[in-house]
Chain A
Amino acid sequence: MTAYLDVDVRPILRAGGEPFSAIMAALERLEQGQGVRLYAPFKPVPLFAVMADKGFAHSANAMEGGEWEVLFTPAAAKPAQVAALSNGFNFGAWPEPRVKLDNRDLEPPEPMVRILAAADKLEPGETLSALLRREPVFLFPQLERRGFRWLGGFASDGATYELTVRAPS
């Protein structure tokens, strides 16, 4: 039976903070074979790829109020059983990205131009994901001004920045 370390990023996100570093810090505290039980106010889709790189499988479970419980289990261990989706009630969940951009080898500011162009075509509530070489600090104010929300952080290789952008619903 896998043991799980609880990480609740809901207060961080509610305060407008950036949860990625808290999650990465938790990973460093894990013992051999231990997994992470993450609580988030939305389905943290971009995190799944990051954690897969680090050797964790995920299983996500929508809770009441649109919040999510996600179990990250070391790939070698047997995933614990999680309750199935309770009732399909997923207000606030971030859907799988409709568009995936790999902007890693584009010359700046092309990555930003393409993300804004693609974001403008999203339907309300839809998301897009993008891979970048660095934190797009000049993009954030533009996204914010247009009412988009975003979640991003460096992947485990430290060289790829994974960004998910969600259109206002």
Chain B
Amino acid sequence: MIGGNISRWTMTYFAAALTWLLAALALMAAGIGHPATDVAAPDTLVLVHVICVGWLSTAMCGALFQFVPVLLAKPLFSERLALPALGLLTAGLIALLAGFMALGGRLPSAPWLLPLGAVLLVAGFGLVIVDLGLTAWLRPTGPARFVLVGLASLCTTVTFGAVFAFALAGWAGPVGDAVLARGIPLHATAGLGGWLTLTAMGVSYRLLSMFMLAPDVEDRQSRQTLAAGGLAVAAAVGGGAFAIGLGMGLNAVFSVAALLGLTCAALYGRDVAGVFRSRKRHHLELNMRMAMLSFASLAGTAVLGVALVSMGTLPLHLGAFAFLTVFGWLSGLVLAKLYKIVAFLTWLETYGPVMGRAATPRVQDLAAEQRATKWFAIYYLAVWAGTLALLAGEPSAFRIAAAAMTVGVIGIIHEIIRIRRLEDVAPPLRLPAGSVAPHLLFAKT
């Protein structure tokens, strides 16, 4: 059957991802990890991996299992890999976090925890990469190319991470130790830049034009954007690995990568502006207005990066730069789109079978946008305040910002649960004869 079925486990992925996001926010509000400790301290590693693997990667995988078949109008290579992949990813992340905590003396020493976590994560991401990669490979058009490059970057990220884990356990020999000593920027660039950013861009093209009734971004344009982004990641990772092999510095390599990255962000801005200009639907829904704040944060990230580099203070403020990238750009976009995707999928699952046979609510009737707006506003204001607090070196102000972000996210999650439970649909329309109430955590169809 042509793609467009409801992915059974996408809601499960989203629920797991949001749980990890709450955990990350609790850690930040409690002052665990950066900025209280060094960027490379074990506590920071816990925090970073809760955010990047637990929250962002899990949410992204859940969204991709639903939307790669839609992007391609092809069924998923296998429906059966999604749930085992989630189990492996969750178990792997827990082992990895325990390994970091042992490293920092919060748990008894257990050197095998990190390699165990790495093996489980490799297996989990491996299933995701095989399933989505084979699906996209069969019809690599338009946005699907972004997903392919994103998955290739994910492979790179996971490979580096696995080498680090074995090196930290003392099982990777001198080569592993050398990679661990200098390869962390490569791991971070491949993960945040290649996997999360390029994939989010690719999926956003289709979601934006679908939800705003705009023609798709021209293939030629999106190809330029992808080329710049893909080259940036390739320059950072390939050039970086080469430089490490020769014992050279990484500055030259990262300057080239940064220029390409800026080009990619500018081209993406052009593409998105084009979609907004050519849209037929003039009223912007909440998820679009909030996505615009995320695009603004991406632009802010680019400006901040340029400013920090030109002042020579990027190493000092790496935490602030990464924070704005992760929470302003990526998390903001994912939260805004989750809000819409959950409403749409819930609507399709509940009312699809009776559509045309009984009166059904519209998708927007499932969501209470006005109530949700304030939670998003609190979230974004807190993220920007948190960035400023990090730049100003004010850890207490940062914890207050993190607490405010937690309030915003709890509000958003509450709204998403209400959507899933159809609580905002007027009773006569809520469950017409023949429709079945959705389960909170998975799709029944």
Asked if A108 contacts B211 (CB within 8 A), the reply is: yes
- Known: A141-B1, A141-B4. Is A117-B355 also a contact (CB below 8 A)? yes
Taking the closest CB of chain A, its distance from the CB of B293, in whole angstroms, is 23
Residues of B within 8 A of A138 (CB): 4, 70, 348, 352
Residue-by-residue, is B109-135 near A (CB-CB < 8 Å gives 1, otherwise 0)?
A: 000000000000000000000000000
Residues of A within 8 A of B (CB): 105, 107-110, 112-120, 133-142, 144-145, 159
Taking the closest CB of chain A, its distance from the CB of B73, in whole angstroms, is 5
**What are 7 pairs between A and B in contact, CB < 8 Å?**
A107-B281, A113-B360, A116-B355, A117-B357, A133-B215, A141-B352, A144-B1
Cα(A113)–Cα(B73), bound, Å: 20
Cα(A120)–Cα(B215), bound, Å: 29
Asked if B4 contacts A159 (CB within 8 A), the reply is: no
Asked if A137 contacts B357 (CB within 8 A), the reply is: no
Cα(A108)–Cα(B4), bound, Å: 14
Cα(A101)–Cα(B267), bound, Å: 37
Q: Does B3 contact A (CB under 8 A)?
A: yes
- Known: A109-B363, A116-B356, A117-B356. Is A140-B4 also a contact (CB below 8 A)? yes
Which residues 45-75 in B have Cβ within 8 Å of A in the complex? 69-70, 73
Instruction: Please tell me the number of chain B residues within 8 Å of chain A, measured between CB atoms.
Output: 26
Chain B interface main SS type: loop
Cα(A110)–Cα(B281), bound, Å: 13
Asked if A142 contacts B211 (CB within 8 A), the reply is: no
Residues of A within 8 A of B213 (CB): 105, 107-108, 133
Cα(A134)–Cα(B206), bound, Å: 11
Cα(A140)–Cα(B4), bound, Å: 7
Asked if A140 contacts B356 (CB within 8 A), the reply is: no
Cα(A110)–Cα(B347), bound, Å: 12
Taking the closest CB of chain B, its distance from the CB of A140, in whole angstroms, is 5
Knowing that A137-B73, A144-B1 are A-B contacts, what are 17 other residue pairs whose CB atoms are under 8 Å apart, sorted by A's residue number? A108-B213, A109-B363, A113-B355, A113-B356, A116-B357, A119-B356, A120-B356, A134-B210, A137-B69, A138-B348, A138-B352, A141-B1, A141-B352, A142-B352, A142-B355, A145-B353, A159-B215
Cα(A119)–Cα(B70), bound, Å: 23
Asked if A108 contacts B210 (CB within 8 A), the reply is: yes
Residues of B within 8 A of A108 (CB): 210-211, 213
Asked if B357 contacts A141 (CB within 8 A), the reply is: no
Q: Does B280 contact A (CB under 8 A)?
A: yes
- Known: A108-B211, A113-B360, A116-B356. Is A137-B2 also a contact (CB below 8 A)? yes
- Known: A107-B213, A134-B210, A135-B73. Is A141-B356 also a contact (CB below 8 A)? no
Q: 7 closest A-B pairs (Cβ-Cβ)?
A: A117-B356, A116-B356, A137-B4, A138-B4, A116-B355, A140-B2, A120-B356
Q: Does B5 contact A (CB under 8 A)?
A: yes
Residues of B within 8 A of A109 (CB): 344, 347-348, 363
- Known: A105-B280, A107-B281, A108-B213. Is A118-B356 also a contact (CB below 8 A)? yes
Asked if B70 contacts A137 (CB within 8 A), the reply is: yes
The contact of A112 among B73, B211, B216, B355, by CB within 8 Å, is: B355
Taking the closest CB of chain A, its distance from the CB of B88, in whole angstroms, is 28
Residue-by-residue, is B312-355 near A (CB-CB < 8 Å gives 1, otherwise 0)?
A: 00000000000000000000000000000000100110001101
Cα(A138)–Cα(B4), bound, Å: 4
